[in-house]
């Protein structure tokens, strides 16, 4: 059975990666704020037609995130380099 990758899935995945990679707990309100931050940012890199890489500052940290333009949401947070 194929997983449906909707906004809820993206939220859960991002939440899990934030905890795993940065030891930061986020809720849906935080997630929505992060997604809204992307709207006003410039693209760092375009992965595909629907995937963009962005760097955002939030809570005194800098994060590299993958943003889905079709769903208009963050799909994951990348590890620090």
Query: What's the average model confidence in pLDDT over 63-67?
Result: 93
Domain boundaries, the chain: 7-78
What pLDDT is stored for residue 42 in this prediction?
67
Please report, rounded to a whole number, the percentage of residues in the chain having pLDDT higher than 90: 56
What pLDDT is stored for residue 78 in this prediction?
94
Residues 6+ apart with CB under 8 A from 38: 54, 56, 65, 67, 74
Among 31, 38, 33, 25, residue whose Cα is nearest residue 64:
38
What pLDDT is stored for residue 68 in this prediction?
92
* Torsion angles phi and psi, residue 58, rounded to 5: -155, 130
Give the tens place of pLDDT for each residue, 23-61: 999 999 999 999 988 866 667 888 888 899 999 888 899
């Amino acid at each position: 059975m194929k997983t449906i990758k909707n906004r809820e899935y993206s939220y859960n995945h991002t939440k899990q990666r934030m905890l795993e990679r940065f030891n930061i707990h986020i809720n849906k309100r935080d997630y929505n704020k992060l997604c809204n931050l992307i709207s006003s940012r410039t693209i760092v890199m375009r992965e595909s037609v629907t995937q963009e890489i962005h760097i955002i500052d939030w809570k005194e940290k800098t994060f590299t995130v993958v943003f889905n333009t079709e769903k208009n949401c963050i799909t994951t947070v990348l590890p620090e380099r």
